[in-house]
């Protein structure tokens, strides 16, 4: 790998800003990481690209991802789900490491092709499940794997948002099966499935049976012009919400759900784990805290996970100077770029293999919903 890693980034909206911010912070907060350069910002609209490139600190722009891949050392695919496959596989086939946003793909078949391309390429291929990089989540994983809460019996994950409660909320690519693959299931459920695998997978084994249901509450939405006038209505062809019941290889059971219709919940991702000797509880809305019940405690203790000994914290501020949502992207980028520069992929980094494993669970939930029965994975 060259001294300075030139990065090409496809996508420059909300998640593009999150990753650009993360890249901008590497040198200051993780000086042991590789030297990086925000080289090319890739998209379709040149004027918008140039404005975003100035704001995000990229040297140049390109409206041709194939061309751009040839001139960078690493490729970030932050495009909509239907654009994850082709550019990522092209980069991998060119020996260029890839960080692709979640979910890995809109369908299981696509995810399988991406996984196989990553296996053949033998360069780091990360799937950006950023919630693994919350210090409290990694602290929880340590407690579980150290046996602090005993045998795992229950896992409960839910991801609640409310941005579609308004029936006049505009149509978007996330609401189209061809473009997104699924709705709340793939957009939010993918995060929860990955976190569940990350937290308890070592001790429970994989999910081996499940049942699930998908529901769409509003089946078409308005398309607005720049003046806010409705110009058309488009069909919603994905789920607004899902639920699932899981059985793990070791007999533990779980329940998952996500919704975009949960009034009062903006970005409420919670995970609860119950074991034979205790329980853990995490909420993204209180992401510096982990609620812990172990030993003979009569109730949960709220641990503020901000000590220097806690994951990533010493890179930032003294104990108690809390972190935020954007810090998870800084940690994720540090781990990915460190893997690119050293060739060593740490277990914490979700790979295309992990992305595929998540996609298998999503596909099983869709199959169970279609068949109206429990399915084996
Ligand atoms: C959906 O609104 C969304 O932006 C997801 O796509 C992200 O993955 C999640 O982190 C926040 O919510």
Instruction: Count the domains in the chain.
Output: 2
Q: Is the pLDDT of residue 60 over 60?
A: yes
Same domain, 195 and 80: no
pLDDT digits (tens, 9 = 90+) for 102-129: 999 999 999 999 999 999 998 999 999 9
| 297-310: average pLDDT | 96
pLDDT digits (tens, 9 = 90+) for 151-192: 999 999 999 999 999 999 999 999 999 999 999 999 999 999
pLDDT digits (tens, 9 = 90+) for 330-373: 999 999 999 999 999 999 999 999 999 999 999 999 999 999 99
| 51-69: average pLDDT | 98
DSSP state of 4: E
Same domain, 148 and 238: yes
Q: Is residue 216 classed as helix, strand or coil in its secondary structure?
A: coil
CATH code of the domain containing 17: 3.40.50.720
Does residue 40 contact residue 19 with C-beta atoms inside 8 Å?
no
Phi and psi at residue 371, to the nearest 5° = -85, -20
Kindly give the distance from the C-alpha atom of residue 187 to the centroid of ligand 1, in angstroms, as a whole number: 6
Same domain, 79 and 158: no
Measured from the Cα of 163, ligand 1's closest atom is 2
Same domain, 165 and 138: yes
Which stretches of the chain are DSSP H helices? 14-24, 26-29, 46-56, 65-69, 85-93, 108-121, 135-145, 177-180, 184, 190-204, 325-342, 352-371
CA pair distance 351, 61, nearest whole angstrom? 27
Question: Per the domain annotation, does 334 fall within a domain?
Answer: no
CA pair distance 137, 345, nearest whole angstrom? 19
Q: What is the pLDDT of residue 3?
A: 84
Ligand 1 pocket mutation pick from 182, 267, 324 by most atoms within 8 angstroms of CB: 267
Q: Is the pLDDT of residue 2 over 60?
A: no
Kindly give the distance from the C-alpha atom of residue 356 to the centroid of ligand 1, in angstroms, as a whole number: 19
CA pair distance 106, 84, nearest whole angstrom? 8
In the chain the first and final C-alpha atoms are separated, in Å, by 39
Measured from the Cα of 191, ligand 1's closest atom is 8
Ligand 1 pocket mutation pick from 130, 137, 188, 192 by most atoms within 8 angstroms of CB: 188
CB of 187 sitting under 6 A from ligand 1: yes
Work out the number of other CB atoms within 10 angstroms of the CB of residue 78. 24
Position 300 confidence tier, pLDDT thresholds 50, 70, 90? very high
What is the number of H-type helices and E-type strands within the chain?
12, 17
Domain boundary among 98, 131, 164: 131
CA pair distance 9, 333, nearest whole angstrom? 13
Nearest alpha carbon, ligand 1 atom 1: 187
Same domain, 127 and 192: no
Measured from the Cα of 15, ligand 1's closest atom is 4
Structural domain for 312, as ranges: 133-323+352-376
Strand positions, DSSP E, 187-321: 207-215, 220-224, 230-235, 241-248, 253-259, 268-275, 278-283, 289-294, 301-304
pLDDT digits (tens, 9 = 90+) for 3-53: 899 999 999 999 999 999 999 999 999 999 999 999 999 999 999 999 999
Same domain, 65 and 12: yes
Question: Per the domain annotation, does 342 fall within a domain?
Answer: no
Q: Which residues of 229-261 are buried (b: 16+ CB within 10 A; e: fewer)?
A: eeeeeeebbbbbbbbbbbbbeeebbbebbbbbb
Name residues whose C-beta falls within 8 Å of residue 14's C-beta, 6 or more positions apart in sequence. none
CB of 267 sitting under 6 A from ligand 1: yes
Helix axes 190-204, 135-145, angle to 10 degrees: 30
Same domain, 123 and 250: no
Question: Per the domain annotation, does 8 fall within a domain?
Answer: yes
Q: What is the pLDDT of residue 25?
A: 98
Q: Is the pLDDT of residue 1 over 80?
A: no
CATH code of the domain containing 307: 3.30.360.10
Q: Which of 14, 12, 66, 83 is nearest to 41 (CA)?
A: 12
Same domain, 233 and 291: yes
Q: What is the pLDDT of residue 122?
A: 83
DSSP state of 351: B
Residue 320 CB-density burial (10 A; 0-12 exposed, 13-18 middle, 19+ buried): exposed
Bridge partner list, 328:
none
Q: Quick one: residue 123, left, alpha or beta (phi over 0 = left, psi -120 to 50 = alpha)? A: beta
């Amino acid at each position: 790998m060259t001294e300075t890693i030139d990065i090409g980034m496809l996508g420059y909206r909300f998640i593009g800003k999150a990753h650009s911010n993360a890249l901008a912070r590497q040198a200051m907060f993780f000086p042991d990481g590789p030297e990086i350069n925000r080289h090319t910002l890739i998209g379709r609209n040149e004027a918008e690209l140039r404005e975003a490139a100035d704001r995000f600190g990229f040297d140049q722009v390109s409206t041709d991802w194939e061309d751009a891949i040839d001139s960078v050392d690493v490729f970030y695919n932050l495009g909509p789900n239907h654009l994850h496959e082709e550019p990522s596989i092209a980069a991998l086939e060119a020996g260029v490491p890839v960080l692709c946003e979640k979910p890995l793909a809109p369908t299981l078949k696509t995810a399988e092709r991406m996984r196989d391309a990553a296996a053949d390429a033998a360069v780091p291929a990360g799937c950006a499940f950023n919630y693994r990089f919350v210090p409290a989540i990694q602290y929880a994983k340590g407690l579980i794997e150290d046996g602090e809460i005993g045998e795992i019996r229950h896992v409960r994950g839910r991801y609640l948002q409310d941005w579609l409660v308004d029936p006049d909320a505009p149509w978007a690519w996330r609401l189209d099966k061809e473009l997104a693959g699924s709705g709340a299931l793939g957009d939010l459920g993918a995060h929860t499935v990955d976190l569940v695998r990350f937290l308890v997978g070592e001790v429970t084994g994989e999910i081996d049976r499940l049942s699930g249901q998908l529901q769409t509450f509003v089946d078409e939405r308005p398309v607005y012009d720049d003046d806010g006038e409705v110009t058309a209505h488009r069909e919603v062809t994905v789920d607004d919400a899902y639920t699932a019941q899981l059985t793990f290889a070791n007999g533990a059971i779980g329940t998952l759900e996500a919704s975009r219709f949960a009034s009062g919940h903006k970005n409420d991702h919670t995970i609860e784990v119950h074991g034979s000797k205790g329980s853990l509880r995490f909420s993204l809305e209180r992401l510096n805290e982990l609620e812990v019940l172990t030993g003979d405690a009569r109730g949960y203790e709220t641990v503020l996970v901000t000590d220097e000994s806690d994951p990533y914290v010493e890179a930032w501020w003294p104990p108690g100077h809390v972190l935020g949502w954007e810090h998870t992207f800084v940690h994720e980028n540090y781990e990915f770029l460190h893997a690119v520069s050293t060739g060593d992929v740490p277990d914490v980094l979700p790979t295309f293999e992990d992305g595929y494993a998540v996609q298998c669970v999503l596909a099983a939930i869709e199959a169970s919903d279609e068949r109206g029965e429990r399915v084996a994975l």
